[in-house]
């Protein structure tokens, strides 16, 4: 099935790999307050995060830095990847 999806993607002019499947988690290197860190997040969330940053006309790193800075005290115990997922869900639900 995945091979058929890859073939269809190539026929449609896309280059898609299995790692790009929406549910696949990938590590991304980001810069927060001048410090390099990495976070693991699913491709679907990463793409939405990039779209939100583009709509706001800010860099992806700037948006991630903003999300990190605005975490409440109880959210500080959650990892950044989880906080980003919740931010995206709230954004899509109109809560942000």
Average per-residue pLDDT for the chain: 80
* Helix/strand number for the chain, H first, E second: 4, 2
| Position 7 pLDDT exceeds 90 | no
pTM: 0.72
State which H helix or E strand residue 71 sits in. none
pLDDT tens string 54-79: 999 999 999 999 999 888 766 677 78
Q: Is 88 exposed, middle or buried (0-12, 13-18, 19+ CB in 10 A)?
A: buried
Domains observed in the chain: 24-92 (1.10.3990.20)
Which tokens is 95 given?
A: 């809560």
């Amino acid at each position: 099935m995945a091979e058929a999806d890859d073939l269809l993607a190539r026929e449609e002019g896309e280059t898609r790999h299995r790692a790009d499947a929406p549910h696949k988690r990938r590590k991304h290197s980001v810069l927060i307050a001048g410090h390099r860190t990495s976070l693991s997040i699913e491709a679907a969330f990463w793409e939405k995060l990039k779209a939100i940053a583009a709509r706001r006309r800010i860099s992806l790193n700037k948006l991630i830095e903003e999300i990190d800075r605005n975490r409440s005290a109880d959210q500080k115990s959650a990892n950044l990847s989880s906080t980003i997922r919740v931010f995206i869900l709230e954004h899509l639900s109109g809560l942000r």
